[in-house]
Amino acid sequence: MAIFAKLRESLKGVREKWSAGISRLFSSSKFDADFWDNLEEQLIAGDTGLDFAEETVEFLRKEAKSRNIKSPAELKDIFTARITNELNAVPGMGEPFSLSHTPLVLLMAGVNGSGKTTSAGKLASMYVAQGKRVIMAASDTFRAAAVEQLKIWGERSNVRVIAQGQGADPAAVAFDAWKAAETAKSDVLIVDTAGRLHDKHNLMEELRKIHRVLLREAGNDRLETVLVLDAVLGQNSVAQAETFNSIIPVTSIILTKYDNTAKGGVVISIARKLNVPVRYIGLGEGADDLNTFNPQDFASALMEVNS
């Protein structure tokens, strides 16, 4: 329940700026002429994606007709259920990473500023709190500050960070870290990477190489390629997701900065486009601000306007 309260609080921006409008539409006691157009518009404005907006309006129209529903208010629960079902249709949605094969490697990918290092730190802190053995790898060797940032997170949770000098081969760092994690019988190895947009070709090659090395060492069962996406970017993060997925097979998503976004629908867009589960959402900058993503709670929190 505490988690739900926090989610509700963190979704304040989304509610005030986006879902309040939708909720208002569904609070009406009669269908006015513009209801369906307004609903479609609001869904698109909230970054749920064009397809979802159109299909949802179509679906609700049919439901209203076949169930002889006379007001938007009576449709609200059907709408909320549709969002939940849509998200739950993606296998693994909202489930934590499976630790049945260890060391589990979490390869953190994403553009600069999306929250990779922060999410790596949060995950480390979470696993340490669960009594797991964790190692982190500083494979963002592009900037010295990046290694320092990860080391600070490591010190906070008492987690060892494997690093080499600035400019070192990121794949070599990842390989060293894998060996260390194997030797130490770690449960989790979290690999932080660089994400420079201005240098797309190098980024692609670098990421491919890190992925190749880790896949070779850890195998499919022990490798999660985690795409870290900034929820604030809305439809742009959907495009990013597709780009990254064409470079390496993305197996999980962490959606960050949900506390800062005004549009909540991007999670639906991404889930549908990639059919990849959102495992966690970032709700702030602190170590504890990482939550599992529960579609049911999410849909409910979205539609709770007056709290």
Ligand X SMILES: Nc1nc2c(ncn2[C@@H]2O[C@H](COP(=O)(O)OP(=O)(O)O)[C@@H](O)[C@H]2O)c(=O)[nH]1
Would you tell me which residues interact with Mg ion (CB under 5 A)?
Answer: 116-117
Q: Of 49 and 115, which CB lies nearer to Mg ion in the complex structure?
A: 115
Q: Which DSSP state fits 140?
A: -
What residue 48 binds from ligand X, Mg ion, none (CB within 5 to 8 A, per partner kind)? none
Cβ at position 49, least distance to ligand X in Å: 22
Number of H helices, E strands in the chain: 13, 8
Residue in this structure with the two tokens 């879902």, named with its chain if needed: 19
- Up-side HSE of residue 4: CA atoms within 13 Å toward CB? 10
Rounded Cα–Cα distance for residues 20 and 37 (Å): 17
> Which value, in Å, is the radius of gyration of the alpha carbons in the chain?
21
Q: Token digits for 201?
A: 């070709």
What residues make contact with ligand X under the rule CB under 6 A? 110, 112-118, 195, 228, 256-257, 259-260, 282-285, 289
What residue number has its CB nearest to ligand X? Answer: 282
C-beta of 72 vs 265, nearer to ligand X: 265
Least Å distance, CB 306 to Mg ion, is: 38
DSSP state of 97: P
* Contact (Cβ atoms closer than 8 angstroms) between residue 295 and residue 288: no
Residue nearest Mg ion, Cβ-based: 117
Residue 116 or 279: the one with the smaller Cβ distance to Mg ion is 116
Smallest gap from Cβ 67 to ligand X, in A, equals: 39
Nearest distance from residue 12's CB to ligand X, in Å?
12
Asked if residue 43 lies in contact with residue 265, where contact means CB atoms within 8 angstroms, the answer is: yes
Nearer to ligand X, 86 or 289 (CB): 289
Nearer to ligand X, 10 or 23 (CB): 10
